[in-house]
A = this chain, B = another copy of it.
C-alpha cells in the first residue's frame, strides 16, 4: 500500500442539501460533489463548517460518505471532516474515512470546553491517532477559532508535527488572520498548509502553502482554480482580484445560508436554500437581494 501524498490545490467544503424534513438530500449532494470536481476542484472536504457538519449525526455523515464513494467519486480526493467533541466519535469517523481510502481527514479539536490547554488538545488528537492505529491516516488540523473558539497554537502544531510526522501532515487556517497563517507557513515549511479563505491563496502559495479550502469553492471553483494554476504568472494579482469578487458580493449575508442561496440561484433549484437549525436560510428578500448583487 502506498502512503497518500499530501494534498495540494483547491478544495471545497461541500454544502449539504436537506429535504423539507431536514434529512440529507443524498442525490443533490452527490451531484454537487461531482460537479465541483468537474469544475476545477482538486478535491472535496465533506463535513466542514460550510457543510454544517456538526448539525449532522455521526451516522448521517458515515452514510453520506459511503454513498459518495459508492457513487464513483475517487476517495483519494476526499478530506472529510472527522474532528468531534467526543473522542469515540472522532475515532469512528476517522477510521471510516481511512478504510474507505480517503487520503486525509480534516480534524477539528474538541470544541465544547473553552480555554483548554495545549496539553489537553494534544492528548485528544494523540488519542484519536492511537485508537485509529492505521499508518495510512493523514490528518489536516482544522484551525477555526472564530467558530470553534478552540484552536491549534504554533507550539501545539509544532509538537504534533514533531511527534507524528507521518500522520499530522497539514492544516487549514480559518483564523481569518493573515499574520497567523503567515506564521504557520513560515514556521513549518513542507507542512501542507491551506488557507481557509481564497483571499489569501496567492500569498499562501508564495510562502510555500498547499492551496485553499474555501466555502467559495462551492460556487466559483473554476475562478479559484485559475488562480491556483496561475499564481506564478504575470496576471496572478488580477486572478486574485477576480477570485475575491464573490466573497465581497456576499459580505452582507450570513455566509453558509448565502452559499446555499447561491447554489440554489446557479442551479435554479430552490431546494438548495434550506439549512438545518440553528442556521436560518436566507429570506426571500435576502435571496432576491443576493441574486441582484450577483447580476451586478
**Chain A residues close to B by CB (< 8 Å):** 22, 54-60, 85-89, 92, 109-114, 116-117, 119-121, 123-124, 127, 146-150, 276-280
Contact = CB atoms under 8 A, between A and B. Distances in A.
B276 A56 contact: no
B56 A124 contact: no
A155 to B, nearest CB: 15
B87 A277 contact: yes
B85 A279 contact: no
Given A55-B85, A114-B147, A147-B112, A278 B60 contact: no
Given A55-B112, A86-B55, A111-B112, A277 B127 contact: yes
A149 B149 CA distance: 9
Contacts of A59: 88
Q: Which of A112, A127, A150, A280 has the most CB of B within 10 A?
A: A112
A191 to B, nearest CB: 22
A87 B54 contact: no
Q: Which of A111, A276, A277 has the most CB of B within 10 A?
A: A277
Given A110-B55, A127-B22, A147-B112, A117 B280 contact: yes
Given A111-B112, A120-B277, A123-B280, 20 more contacts: A22-B87, A54-B86, A54-B112, A54-B113, A55-B87, A56-B86, A56-B88, A57-B58, A57-B92, A58-B58, A60-B86, A112-B147, A113-B279, A114-B146, A114-B147, A117-B278, A121-B278, A123-B277, A124-B277, A124-B278
Contacts of A111: 112
Nearest to A128: B277
Contacts of A89: 57
Contacts of A92: 57
B56 A123 contact: no
A263 B88 CA distance: 25
A272 B274 CA distance: 45
